[in-house]
Chain A
Amino acid sequence: KNEVEQSPQNLTAQEGEFITINCSYSVGISALHWLQQHPGGGIVSLFMLSSGKKKHGRLIATINIQEKHSSLHITASHPRDSAVYICAAPNFGNEKLTFGTGTRLTIIP
């Protein structure tokens, strides 16, 4: 079973700050997911990456397969970025995802 750890658990920042959320996992994976959970509970997939780096707007995700570590960065953070960010990793070779506990991000105007 993959153990997925996220840090920090909670993060409060001022609007405009650069945000970093970290995720580490214990078992080699095919791909790692970053998800955003809205205050209402809905989940949106942000990234699915297996190597290197991906960028979408102000969001950047990186992964280091050797170190079993991934980061999610938000540039020029905005109050609408306030949400819970979750990373999820599969056990290698199957589809069973293990989810991190999430990072609750609050951006203050």
Chain B
Amino acid sequence: EPEVTQTPSHQVTQMGQEVILRCVPISNHLYFYWYRQILGQKVEFLVSFYNNEISEKSEIFDDQFSVERPDGSNFTLKIRSTKLEDSAMYFCASSVREHTGELFFGEGSRLTVL
């Protein structure tokens, strides 16, 4: 069964460092998303991406964050200068359709900022 894959599964970084989280969505999906979950808190929407551009973003997704689809298969989330509060589980998801499309999630990338 097709699945969304994420790498790395866990990354530890020093505050101020750049981090890139990678996702390979399901191949025929057109809509891509990043969510995050701080430990013990609820899942939060970060950004949605369609047709090579951001379609929605939350107030969390500030200038420190960026997304791109560099090669037509990978979908990356970059955090330019990590802060302690960026420590969280980051989930990538993809869907065939917007609004009414079932979401397929990756297993998540746990980011720990020291």
Chain B residues near A65 (CB, 8 Å)?
Answer: none
Interface residue? A97 (CB, 8 A): yes
Residue in A40, A94, A102 whose CB lies within 8 Å of B42: A102
Chain A residues near B101 (CB, 8 Å)?
Answer: 48
CB distance from A92 to the nearest CB of B (A): 9
Interface residue? B43 (CB, 8 A): yes
CB distance from A35 to the nearest CB of B (A): 8
Interface residue? B18 (CB, 8 A): no
Contact across chains for B43 and A99 when beta carbons are under 8 A apart: yes
Provide the bound-state CA to CA distance between A96 and B108, in Å. 19
Chain A residues near B31 (CB, 8 Å)?
Answer: 95
B interface, CB within 8 angstroms of A: 31, 33, 35, 37, 42-45, 48, 55-56, 58, 89, 91, 93, 98-105, 107-108, 110
A interface, CB within 8 angstroms of B: 30-31, 33, 35, 40-45, 48, 50, 86, 88, 90, 93-102
